[in-house]
Amino acid sequence: MTYEELLKNTALADEKFVVMTAENRALVRNLPPVLKNRFIDTGITEQTMIGAAAGLALRGRVPVVHALASFLTMRAFEFIRTDVGIPNLPVKLSSFVPGFLSDGNGPTHQAIEDVSIMRGIPGMQVFCPADEQDLVLSLPKIWSSPHPSYVRINTRKSDYQHSTDFEIGKAEVVSSGTDVTLLVYGMLFDETLKAKAILEKEGLSVGLVNIRTLKPIDEKVILDIARKSELLVTIEDHFLIGGLYSILAETFLRNRMTAQVLPLSLTERWFKPALLQEVLNHEGFTGEKIAGKVIAELNKKPVSKA
């Protein structure tokens, strides 16, 4: 099933759902004739759309709103925080082309601080599905939650079969490993799977966790792998500050723990705009490059040699 089909079925089955967009129609192109007046395109007005979504939610609706990730989270930030966050209204944010998915658009369109700023809003839940299958199997629980949510929409296809028992606040543990565990969310899942295969060929015991829910975080899984694995690697198309690496740091500090963690993130700069595969290559996020960085890190630590 596609995102659009799921949204259509959900809205047709339940009158509470309204679909809104700030003229970002890529994900919802076929919905206007089906949903009629429950499809509301406000034009290029992210802030006004969010305010109106809050008004609709006050009346008992569940608005699923669409806009490009950087404009949704940053242009409309104060509206999300003030009109959705303060009253904790069930407005469901669907963010289009987050992270590396903005590929050739350039820094204006790069939402690589979105996880950081959205998780800073009290009550806001934050989700980053690995691919279309993961997205579609996660959304029913996200949309039926009484809380506001932010979802990094990722409709890329993958051959990987995810576990279907999605729960808010639970990570998907793909494998456990004692040498290294790769923690990833969103579109980098596929490249991380490739990295895992390369590392395993090197004879390493490799864990892989698809974080899925960035807030609330699966603290139990993180603490568990930190005890079992020599090295943890956070892999994210996000700034170093405020993303998964920060979440790990917060989690460890809260539990008076520490761990050897290698962060693979964007540090104090935007990424070079290009087609996606070029971006991954240039920024060092292909499976091969991820694996290479992990091996280099392990080689720094003589005790962790397999």
Partner 1 sequence: VYLYSDFLNLNKSNLSDPNRDYLFLSKGHDVPALYGTFAELGLMEKDRLKNHLKTNDSIYWHPNRNVPGVEFHSGSLGHLPAVAMGVALDCRMRNQKNKVLVVTGDGELNEGTVWETVLVASAQQLNNLTIVVDRNQFQANVATEDLVPLEPLADKFEAFGCAVKRIDGHDFNQLESAFRALPFHATKPSVIIADTVRGKGLPSIEARADRWFCNFSKDEIASLLKELHGDATTDLHSETLTVR
The footprint of partner 1 (CB under 8 A) covers 37-38, 40, 42-43, 45, 47-61, 63, 78-79, 82-83, 86-87
Identify which of residues 50 and 259 has a Cβ nearer to partner 1 in the complex.
50
Q: Which is nearer to partner 1, 59 or 269 (CB)?
A: 59
Q: Considering the complex, what minimum distance in angstroms separates the CB of residue 257 from partner 1?
A: 36
Q: How far apart are CA 226 and CA 220, in angstroms?
A: 10
**What separation, in Å, do the N-terminal and C-terminal C-alpha atoms of the chain show?**
42
Cβ proximity to partner 1: between 82 and 175 the closer is 82
Listed in sequence order, the residues at least 6 apart from 37 whose beta carbon sits closer than 8 Å to its beta carbon are none
Q: Report the distance separating Cα 162 and Cα 178, nearest Å.
A: 22
**CA dist., res. 15 & res. 153, Å (int):** 23
67/28 Cα distance (integer angstroms): 11
Helix (H) or strand (E) holding 149: strand 149-152
Minimum Å distance from CB 22 to partner 1?
10
Q: Between residues 72 and 208, which has the closer beta carbon with respect to partner 1?
A: 72
CB contact set of 173 (below 8 Å; sequence gap of 6+)? 207, 208, 209, 221
- State the Cα–Cα distance between residues 171 and 214, nearest whole angstrom: 9
- Return the number of the residue (51 or 242) whose C-beta is nearest partner 1: 51
Q: Residue 176 has which token pair?
A: 């456990």
Identity of the residue, 79 or 245, whose beta carbon is nearer to partner 1 in the bound complex: 79
CB of 146 to partner 1, least distance (A): 17
Q: Nearest distance from residue 52's CB to partner 1, in Å? A: 4
Q: Which is nearer to partner 1, 40 or 74 (CB)?
A: 40
- Cβ atoms of residues 27 and 37 within 8 Å: no
CB of 124 to partner 1, least distance (A): 17
Report whether 73 contacts 118 (CB < 8 A): yes
CB 49 → partner 1: shortest distance, Å? 8
Please, which residues have CB within 8 angstroms of residue 302's CB and are 6 or more apart in sequence? none
* CB of 262 closer than 8 Å to CB of 288: no
Residue 209, number of CB atoms within 10 A of its CB:
24
Residue 63 or 129 with smaller CB distance to partner 1: 63
Rounded Cα distance between 272 and 47, Å, is 28
